[in-house]
Copies of this chain bind each other. A is one copy, B any other.
Amino acid sequence: MQPIHYSKQELIELLGQQGINVTSQRIDIARVLFAHGDHVSAEVVFDRVNRELADSRRVSKATVYNTLGLFAEKGLIRQVIADPTRVFYDPNTKPHHHFYDINSHELMDIDEADIRMQGLPSLPEGARLEGVDVVIRVSHR
């Protein structure tokens, strides 16, 4: 996804629109998510947020984890399950798919239009659709 450099005001609105209470940590975390636009683990978010912040405003690891979970639950970002060892978060919530490099542990977007799936199979009895994830696993050398 393209990096988007939101102003503080815009971030506050964004959070508000998703029904997320606004705090300074949540603004900082949302800022780095959209300012980079890539697929990140909680660890990376933690590093990036705190690299940019004065010591007095450091965000704890617990808050990063909890906030990413909250953002995903509220639909601001989405989880990508591609690596058995960590969860990735994707600021792009529009339908699309992913390449996953099993060597470098990196995700790359695939535009939705580049994979056309013919007719979803009928869901199991009483099931509600939550999402369709296509992960194309590749290796580099």
Q: Is the CB of A121 within 8 A of B129?
A: no
DSSP class of A's interface residues: helix, strand, loop or mixed? strand
The yes or no answer to A4 lying at the interface (CB within 8 A) is: no
Residues of chain A at interface, number, CB under 8 A: 38
The yes or no answer to A14 lying at the interface (CB within 8 A) is: no
The yes or no answer to A87 lying at the interface (CB within 8 A) is: yes
Known: A84-B87, A121-B110. A137 touches B132 (CB 8 A): yes
Known: A99-B123, A101-B127, A121-B115. A135 touches B138 (CB 8 A): no
> A101-B127, A127-B140 are known contacts; what are 15 more A-B pairs with Cβ within 8 Å?
A81-B83, A81-B135, A102-B130, A111-B121, A115-B117, A115-B120, A117-B134, A120-B136, A121-B136, A124-B140, A126-B140, A130-B138, A133-B133, A133-B135, A133-B136
